[in-house]
Every structure is written in structure tokens, then in C-alpha cells.
Structure 1
Amino acid sequence: MLLNHAFGLFKNPDNEWAEIRKEHAPPRRLYVAYVFVLAAIGPICAYISTSHFGWTVGNDRLIKFTEISAMQLSILTYLAILVGVFALGYAVNWMAKTYGAREEQVPSNGIALASYSCTPLFLAGFALLYPSPWFNVIIFMIAACYGAWLMFDGLPIVMGIPKDQALMYSGALLTVALVILVSTRVGSVILWNYGFGPVYQNG
């Protein structure tokens, strides 16, 4: 089962990456059985916390979104995650030849590498149930660092490249990931101007 890899990547990453390479899960199956499920954790937790629990900044009053607004923002976030993971996987495949990977033989490996490397970020979504900005930032920073290390660790195994090439390859992919992140932030601002911005509850 694909979800078993989520635990294996924390317990024994090298063995798990080797299993993932041998598995050759088709991208559609990988998305439906893994990414669609785990990517929903953060948006669902964010919806619950921002519409029902609320948060405070300093000694200010409790802040909450309306349920409709929280739902809209959660759905948009979910879609952005799905697009971001796919774009990262596409970048893995696109850069494969440059770094000597044998990816042309197994096109699904790029999507698999991107999807499984994002596992810590998917699971960090549970932290959003406690809507404290600083707590969430710390948890997601730790998750992002571990995800970056997973990608670096998995590149030589999944893509079949020398370890000395993995550092430059992973650096290029992290740059792509940052571009994707910035693009989603810009997209959020644009959507807010079209009426999809947060709406706060009164009182």
C-alpha cells in the first residue's frame, strides 16, 4: 500500500526509496492513493481551526474566518498543493537528463520522488489544528528541512545518479520549489482581489 511509504520514509529512508524505485507506481495511481489523501490533511485542519477554534496575536481578540471563507481558502490551498507537487515532479523529470539520470526509462519516478519528499509537509498539516502562527511556522520549517533532506537522499536511489550529482540536482529542485511557492503567494493575492480573500467572523 502506498501510504505505508509515509512511515517508512521516517523509519528507514534508504530502504524505502529503493522500494519506491522498484514499485514504479503509475502517476495517476500515486496521486489518487497518496497525494490526494495526504495533501488534504493541512487544508482540512486549517478549515477546522480557522473557522471553529480561531487564533490570537498578542493580546488581541480571538480571530476566526467565516465557514464559507475558510472552506474557499482550504479548497484553493488544496488545489495549489496538488499543482505544486505535480510541477515539482515535472521539474524532476525535465532536469533528469542534465544530471545523468536514467529517467527516460521510467517517467513515473519524478512524480514519485516529488510526492514522497513532500510527505513531512503533508503530515505537518496536523499542526494547523493548533492555530498559533509561531508554532505553525516552526513545525513547517522543520518539515520543509526534512523534506529537502529526503529529496537529497532519494535522488541517487530513485533517479539512478551518482551521489556527487545529487547535491546540484537537489539544489536546482529546491530553487524550483521556491519559485512554485512564490507563484502560489502571488496567485493568492490575485485571487483575493477577485473576492476570494478571508472574511472574518464578527464578535
Structure 2
Amino acid sequence: MLLNHVFGLFTHPDSEWADIRREHEKPARLYVAYVLILALIGPVCAYISTAHFGWTVGTDQPLIKLAPGSALQLSVLTYLAMLVGVFALGYAVNWMARTYGAREEPDASNGIALAAYSCTPLFLAGFALLYPVPWFNAMVFLAAAVYGAYLMYDGLPIVMDIPRERAIMYAGALLTVALVILVSTRVGSVLLWNVGFGPVFING
């Protein structure tokens, strides 16, 4: 089962990446058996915490929640953005392959696998949203992003079969793409908020 890779990516990533390369799963199966499941963690936890737990800003301030319908709407949009983001990053891995001496594939199997498994720490960090404290969430997601970047760098030479020296530049280019994707989702959020998909706050 593909979910077995979750533990290995934290304990012995090198051998886990080698197993992932040997499996060479098709993108459709990888999405159904891995990405669709793990990407649910953050949106579901965010829905529960924002609609039912609430949060405060500063001391002696009232509890703030999102209206259940608004929280559900934003969680679904976040989930879809995550799915698109993983695919876009995987496509970028495959598209840049020849530039760094790797093999470009028609279905981008290796590229999407690399992107999906590198995002595992970010998927799991979604559990932190059950405790909706901004500074705590920011620290957890920052740590997850750092480890995700390390996994990307570590997995590139193994999955894409290139020398490790080339992986440094390759990983740097991919992190730039990841930042562009992140900024694009933020811009998209602002645009959606302006057309009626913004959060609806209620006092707890």
C-alpha cells in the first residue's frame, strides 16, 4: 500500500525513495491511493477547528469562529488547491527533467511521485490545525516545509536518476516553482473572496 511510505520517508528516506522509484506508480493510482487521502487531513482539521473550536486574537478577546457553511466552503477550496498544487509541482519536475540530465516521461510518473511524497510533511502538518493558534500552526508548517524541501532534494537524484551535484540546482529551481504556486494560490484566494467566497466570521 502506498501509505506505507509515510513512515519510511521520516525514518529512512533514501531507501524509501529507491522503493518509490522501483514502484513507478502511475499518477492516477498515486493520487487515488495517496494524495487524495493525505491531502484531506488539513482541510478536515481546519473545518473542525474553525467551525467548532474557534480561536482568539490576543488576551481578553471573544472567541471567533467561522460559520459552518463558510468553513466547509473554504476547506473544499483549500483541498482542491492542494491537489492542483501537487500536480503542478510534479509536472514542473518532469518538464525540467531534460535540463538537468534526467528523463522526461509522457505521463510524468516520477515527477508527480516526487512532488506528492515530498509534500507528505505538509499533509501531516494539517493535524496541527486542530489546535487553532496562529503562532503554533506557523511553526509546525514552517518545520514541515523545511523537511519537505529536504525530501525533495534528497529524492531528486534517486527518483530522477541524476548525479547529486545536479540535484542542488534542480531542487532550487523546483522550490522557486513551489513558491510561485503558493503565491498563485494566495492571489486566487483574494480573487475568490472578492466574488463572494470570503470567510464569514461569528462570535463563539
TM beyond 0.5: yes
> Could you tell me which residue of structure 2 aligns to residue 47 of structure 1?
47
Q: Shift of the alpha carbon at 1:57?
A: 1.0
> Could you tell me which residue of structure 2 aligns to residue 146 of structure 1?
147
Q: Shift of the alpha carbon at 1:68?
A: 0.1
Q: Shift of the alpha carbon at 1:164?
A: 0.3
> Could you tell me which residue of structure 2 aligns to residue 23 of structure 1?
23
> Could you tell me which residue of structure 2 aligns to residue 157 of structure 1?
158
- The residue correspondences of 1:1-203 to structure 2 (distance < 5 A) are 1-59=1-59, 60-104=61-105, 107-202=108-203
* CA shift digits 1:74-101 (9 cap, x unpaired): 0000000000000000000000000001
**In 2: Cα distance, 1:102 partner to 1:187 partner:** 33
RMSD: 1.0
Q: Which runs of 5+ in 1 are unaligned?
A: none
**In 2: Cα distance, 1:23 partner to 1:105 partner:** 17
Identity of matched residues, %: 76
Other structure's SS at 1:201 match: strand
TM-score if structure 2 supplies the norm length?
0.98
TM-score if structure 1 supplies the norm length?
0.98
**In 2: Cα distance, 1:154 partner to 1:174 partner:** 14
Q: Which runs of 5+ in 2 are unaligned?
A: none
* CA shift digits 1:96-137 (9 cap, x unpaired): 000001233873000000000000000000000000000000
| Number of residues of Structure 1 aligned to a counterpart in Structure 2 | 203
Distance change (3 Å), C-alpha of 1:202 and 1:105: closer
Other structure's SS at 1:55 match: coil
Which aligned runs of 4 or more in structure 1 are off by greater than 6 angstroms? none
**In 2: Cα distance, 1:202 partner to 1:37 partner:** 32
**In 2: Cα distance, 1:54 partner to 1:202 partner:** 9
